[in-house]
Structure 1
Amino acid sequence: RYYQQTESEKPEFTDKKVVINTKYRYRIKAKFKDGSESAFSEEILIEF
């Protein structure tokens, strides 16, 4: 599920909606000015 987009000037993300005792999975990909996109990154699992 798509969650959020960031701008290239600030390529970072903070998830402010995390809940204790929950697992989160994240992947990223780049979208280029010409409209093309990279492949997704490897998935990371965060247990909060």
Structure 2
Amino acid sequence: MEHIWQNADDENEVHFLFRINSIANTKKLIIKLHSKTLEQNPDANLPNMTYLQ
């Protein structure tokens, strides 16, 4: 993990910044992990992912 920030207006909102090698591969992995989690728990609170270049 490169950086972590907590929202000053909402302490429950946290932002993480990760360095990755491939956006395409990371997106595939996240989709797979989120899908698996939602199969087990449709109400799971999953993070919103934003990919930056």
TM normalised by structure 1 equals: 0.32
Report which of the two has the higher share of helix. Answer: 2
Higher RCO structure, 1 or 2 (CA under 8 Å, sep 6+): 1
